[in-house]
C-alpha cells in the first residue's frame, strides 16, 4: 500500500508563562492507504496535539508547530496557505472528536450541519446535498433519516450524536479520518456499536484512520499498527501483535501490566509504574521516562534514546531495549 500520510520529526510547542511546553517533540509516523493506525498514551502525552497539528488546528497563541514536516497525499501540509488547508479539512481528512455534544453546534439542525461541509467543498445543489445527507445518515444506522435532518443535537442520544459526527466526517469521501477518543464518552454497548460501525465503514470505503485512544482493548480490536506515546514522543511502535505480545519499552510493558483483564481469573495484584508523568515544561535532555523506570542507567540521563528498529515492524526508543527481557524476568 502507498503511504498516505507521513509525519516527520514534528515538533509542536506551547509558549506559556510557565515556560515552553514541548507537547510534541519529534514525532514521526506514517499511515498507509486504508490502514488503521492507533496512537496510545495517557493524558498529556501529546497524542491529540499531534492529530491537531496534522490539520493545523493548533491555536496561536500559545501553540505553534516549530519544526518537522507533514506530507499528506503528495502535499506538504505545513507549507500550504490558509485556503489550501481549508480545502483539506473536512474533505480529504475527516475528524471525529471525543465529545459529540461539543463537536456539534447546538443551535443548528442536523441537516444544516451535514450539508454545510458538502456545500463548502463541492458545487452541489441544495436538493442533492439533502439527498446525500439522508444517504449518509442511513449509512451510519440512524433510523428515519428524513425526519432527523430537521432535528437539533439535543434531540439525539450520545450514541446517535456520535453517528452524526461520523456521517459528517465521511460526507466528502475523505482519504483519512482522525478519530480522537471517539467512544470514550459512550457506554460500553454503545461504544461497541460505534466501533463496529467505524470499522465496517472504513473497510468498505477504503478510508485510512488514525485512532487516538487510551483504551488498550480498543487498540487490540481495531488497530493494524500501534504507536505508543509518552511525554511528547513515540517511545515504541509496531504491529498490534508486537506491542501486546513482545513489548520492548519499559513503559509499554508497564501499561499492559496496569490493565486488569476481564476475560481471565485474577492472577495477581496489578503491577503499575510508580510516580506520574513528567511536567512537559521541565524536561531535560535525558529519557523522559527515566524517573519512573526500574531499568534506568546512567546512560538514560545523558541522552534521549533514538527510536530504532528492533525488527521489520517494530521500533523502540530505549537504551536498555536489548537487556529488558533479561532484567524484567
Interface residues with another protein (CB under 8 A) are: 42-43, 157, 159-160, 187-193, 195-196, 214-221, 240-241, 244-245, 254-263, 265-274, 276
Shortest separation between residue 262's beta carbon and another protein, angstroms: 4
Cβ nearer to another protein, comparing 54 with 167: 167
Cβ nearer to another protein, comparing 76 with 271: 271
Shortest separation between residue 264's beta carbon and another protein, angstroms: 8
Shortest separation between residue 44's beta carbon and another protein, angstroms: 9
For 313-328, the DSSP string reads S-EE--TTTTTHHHHH
Shortest separation between residue 217's beta carbon and another protein, angstroms: 3
Identify whether the C-beta of residue 176 lies closer than 8 Å to the C-beta of residue 207.
yes
For residue 319, what is its C-alpha cell? 537504551
Cβ nearer to another protein, comparing 241 with 302: 241
Cβ nearer to another protein, comparing 134 with 228: 228
Identify whether the C-beta of residue 229 lies closer than 8 Å to the C-beta of residue 41.
yes
Shortest separation between residue 18's beta carbon and another protein, angstroms: 13
Cβ nearer to another protein, comparing 171 with 252: 252
Cβ nearer to another protein, comparing 30 with 246: 246
Give the neighbor-by-neighbor strand order of the sheet with 233-239.
93-96, 176-180, 208-213, 36-40, 225-230, 233-239, 315-316, 308-309
250-255 long-range contacts, Cβ below 8 Å, gap at least 24?
A: 250/289, 250/293, 250/294, 250/295, 250/318, 250/320, 250/324, 251/289, 251/292, 251/293, 252/228, 253/324, 253/328, 254/292, 255/40, 255/216, 255/228
Report H helices in the chain. 47-54, 82-88, 100-103, 110-121, 126-139, 145-148, 158-170, 188-205, 216-222, 240-245, 250-258, 298-302, 324-328
Shortest separation between residue 143's beta carbon and another protein, angstroms: 10
Cβ nearer to another protein, comparing 95 with 255: 255
The whole-angstrom separation of Cα 324 and Cα 250 is 7
Shortest separation between residue 221's beta carbon and another protein, angstroms: 4
The whole-angstrom separation of Cα 149 and Cα 167 is 12
Shortest separation between residue 231's beta carbon and another protein, angstroms: 13
Cβ nearer to another protein, comparing 88 with 255: 255
Amino acid at each position: 500500500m502507498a503511504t498516505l500520510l507521513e509525519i516527520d520529526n514534528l515538533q509542536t510547542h506551547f509558549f506559556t508563562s510557565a515556560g515552553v511546553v514541548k507537547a510534541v517533540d519529534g514525532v514521526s509516523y506514517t499511515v498507509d492507504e486504508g490502514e488503521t493506525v492507533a496512537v496510545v498514551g495517557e493524558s498529556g502525552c501529546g497524542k491529540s496535539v499531534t492529530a491537531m497539528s496534522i490539520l493545523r488546528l493548533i491555536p496561536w497563541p500559545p501553540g505553534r508547530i516549530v519544526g518537522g514536516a507533514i506530507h499528506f497525499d503528495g502535499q506538504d501540509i505545513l507549507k500550504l496557505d490558509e485556503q489550501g488547508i481549508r480545502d483539506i479539512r473536512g474533505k480529504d481528512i475527516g475528524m471525529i472528536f471525543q465529545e459529540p455534544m461539543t463537536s456539534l453546534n447546538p443551535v443548528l439542525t442536523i441537516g444544516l450541519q451535514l450539508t454545510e461541509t458538502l456545500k463548502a467543498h463541492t458545487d452541489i445543489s441544495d436538493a442533492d446535498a439533502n439527498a446525500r445527507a439522508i444517504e449518509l445518515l442511513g449509512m451510519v444506522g440512524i433510523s428515519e433519516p428524513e425526519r432527523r435532518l430537521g432535528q437539533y443535537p439535543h434531540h439525539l442520544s450520545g450514541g446517535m450524536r456520535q453517528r452524526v459526527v461520523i456521517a459528517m466526517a465521511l460526507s466528502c469521501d475523505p482519504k483519512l479520518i482522525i478519530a480522537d477518543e471517539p467512544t470514550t464518552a459512550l457506554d460500553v454497548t454503545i461504544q461497541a456499536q460505534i466501533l463496529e460501525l467505524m470499522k465496517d465503514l472504513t473497510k468498505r470505503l477504503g478510508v485510512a484512520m488514525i485512532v487516538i485512544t487510551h483504551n488498550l482493548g480498543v487498540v487490540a480490536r481495531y488497530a493494524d499498527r500501534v504507536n505508543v506515546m509518552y511525554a511528547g514522543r513515540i517511545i515504541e511502535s509496531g504491529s498490534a501483535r508486537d506491542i501486546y505480545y513482545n513489548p520492548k519499552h519499559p513503559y509499554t510493558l508497564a501499561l499492559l501490566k496496569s490493565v486488569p483483564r476481564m476475560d481471565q481469573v485474577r492472577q495477581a495484584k496489578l503491577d503499575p509504574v510508580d510516580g506520574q508523568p513528567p511536567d512537559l515544561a521541565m524536561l531535560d535532555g535525558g529519557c523522559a521516562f527515566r524517573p519512573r523506570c526500574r531499568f534506568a542507567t546512567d546512560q538514560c540521563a545523558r541522552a534521549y534514546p533514538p527510536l530504532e528498529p528492533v525488527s521489520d515492524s517494530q521500533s523502540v526508543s530505549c537504551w536498555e531495549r536489548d537487556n529488558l527481557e533479561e532484567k524484567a524476568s
